């Protein structure tokens, strides 16, 4: 697995904003010695919840190990923003945060466990919601054995998630489980959530705020799921892009890697980019049209 395509946050401005905000909030409140008090408590959920604490609890991790594993996972899962576009990915992020919080509130009321007096803080909802499409949609590309134990290239992501899930024991397990439930509801298209997307200006704001060196990926109007792009070896791409116009144009390696990270076959990605004259949007549409045939 190539970690979500080319390195960096190319075509993932929303993810970059989330990563930077999480790092800044964690560092600032860690220096002030307040990181252990940022998580939401039972009193916060059912009493007077201050807006600043709600925002901080969504972004800031409560410890350095959680920050390291959390940022790694957020960075890796930028692949989903590249797949569905920033407008729909923003809806996925907002849905994951809100729904996971709605699950946490009744769970705290029912469990009444003293160990859950204050939940751990951080974007657990977004991270563990992303594990649903990661498990279901991202294919295994390599397998190997270590001391007779079988692993795949996805194992490292699962290990990082497992470490983050158990980082604060019950205080982190509960938000992690609620995140998985939120991701499952998104996957099931609860209330037709997968049809929604923010207006173009919303994602454009993040793109202007974090300039990108590449084209913004768009999967076309018919693409409304998170993930689910399988690999099609030997796929013959078609479309209204004459090959004779672009046969001499060699596609950039980072563009090919981006399409491969989305689950397309490498040769098919190269053909699509050649036909589309290295236009990422057009190449993605060509591959999706060929997939539907």
pLDDT, tens digit, 9 for 90 and up, residues 189-210:
999 999 998 887 776 777 666 6
Report the distance separating Cα 135 and Cα 53, nearest Å: 32
- In whole angstroms, give the CA distance from residue 191 to residue 101: 18
Eight-state DSSP code of residue 39? S
Single pTM value for the model: 0.74
- What lies within 8 Å, CB to CB, of 212 at 6+ separation is 9, 10, 11, 13
Sequence ranges of the domains in the chain: 13-195, 229-292
Q: What is the pLDDT of residue 252?
A: 87
How many CA atoms lie less than 13 Å away from 15 in the CB half-sphere? 28
Predicted pLDDT of residue 188? 96
Percent of the chain with pLDDT over 70: 80
Query: Which residues, 6+ apart, have CB-to-CB distance to 118 below 8 Å?
Result: 36, 37, 39, 40, 41, 171
How would you classify residue 229: left for phi > 0, otherwise alpha for psi between -120 and 50, otherwise beta? beta
Tell me the average pLDDT across 63-87.
Answer: 93
- Give the Cα separation of 6 and 197 in Å (integer): 25
Summarised one tens digit per residue, pLDDT across range 236-293 is: 444 444 444 434 468 888 888 888 877 788 888 888 888 888 877 777 777 776 765 5
CATH architecture, domain 229-292: Orthogonal Bundle (1.10)
> Closest by alpha carbon to 228, among 131, 133, 128?
133
- DSSP state, residue 199: -
Please give the mean pLDDT across all residues of the chain. Answer: 82
Least confident of 49-63, 104-118, 200-214: 200-214
Lowest model confidence (mean pLDDT) among 55-69, 142-156, 251-265: 251-265
C-alpha distance from residue 48 to each of 43, 45, 223 (Å): 7, 8, 40
Judged against a pLDDT cut of 70, whether residue 178 lies above it is answered with yes
Q: Is there a contact between 61 and 34 (Cβ–Cβ < 8 Å)?
A: no
Q: Give the span between the Cα atoms of 180 and 174, in whole angstroms.
A: 10
Residue corresponding to tokens 């996972």: 73
Cβ 264 vs Cβ 287: under 8 Å: yes
Residue 181 pLDDT grade (very low, low, confident, very high; cuts 50, 70, 90): very high
Q: Within 10 Å of residue 137's Cβ, how many Cβ atoms?
A: 18
State the pLDDT at residue 99.
97
In 82-215, the DSSP E strands lie at 143-146, 149-152
The DSSP line for 128-162 is HHHHHHHHHHPPP--EEEETTEEEETTHHHHHHHH
C-alpha span between 3 and 73 (Å, rounded): 10
| Angular region, 277: left φ>0, alpha ψ -120 to 50, beta rest | left
The string over 168-190, giving b where at least 16 C-beta atoms fall within 10 Å of a residue's C-beta and e elsewhere, is beebbbbbbbbbbbbbebbbeee
Q: Which CATH class is domain 13-195?
A: mainly alpha
Local confidence band at 222 (pLDDT 50, 70, 90 cut-offs): very low
Are 282 and 246 contacting, i.e. CB atoms less than 8 angstroms apart? Answer: no
């Amino acid at each position: 697995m190539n970690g979500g395509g080319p390195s960096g946050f190319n075509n993932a401005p929303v993810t970059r904003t989330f990563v930077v905000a999480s790092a800044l909030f964690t560092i600032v409140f860690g220096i002030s010695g307040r990181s252990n008090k940022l998580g939401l408590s039972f009193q916060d959920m059912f009493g007077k919840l201050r807006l600043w604490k709600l925002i901080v609890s969504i972004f800031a991790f409560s410890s350095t190990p959680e920050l390291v594993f959390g940022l790694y996972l957020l960075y890796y899962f930028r692949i989903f923003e590249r797949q569905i576009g920033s407008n729909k990915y923003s809806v996925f992020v907002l849905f994951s945060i809100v729904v996971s919080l709605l699950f946490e509130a009744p769970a705290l009321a029912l469990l009444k466990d003293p160990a859950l007096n204050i939940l751990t803080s951080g974007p657990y909802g977004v991270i563990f919601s992303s594990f649903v499409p990661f498990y279901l949609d991202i294919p295994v590309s390599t397998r190997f054995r270590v001391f007779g134990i079988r692993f795949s290239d996805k194992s490292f992501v699962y290990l990082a998630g497992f470490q983050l899930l158990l980082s604060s024991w019950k205080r982190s397990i509960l938000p992690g489980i609620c995140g998985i439930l939120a991701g499952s509801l998104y996957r099931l298209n609860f209330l037709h959530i997968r049809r929604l997307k923010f207006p173009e200006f919303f994602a454009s704001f993040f793109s202007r705020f974090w300039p990108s060196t590449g084209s913004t990926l768009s999967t076309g109007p018919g693409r409304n799921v998170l993930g689910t792009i399988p690999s099609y070896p030997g796929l013959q791409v078609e479309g209204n892009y004459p090959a004779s116009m672009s046969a001499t144009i060699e596609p950039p390696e980072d563009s090919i890697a981006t399409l491969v990270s989305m689950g397309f076959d490498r040769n098919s990605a190269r053909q699509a980019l050649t036909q589309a004259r290295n236009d990422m949007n057009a190449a993605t549409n060509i591959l999706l049209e060929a997939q539907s045939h």
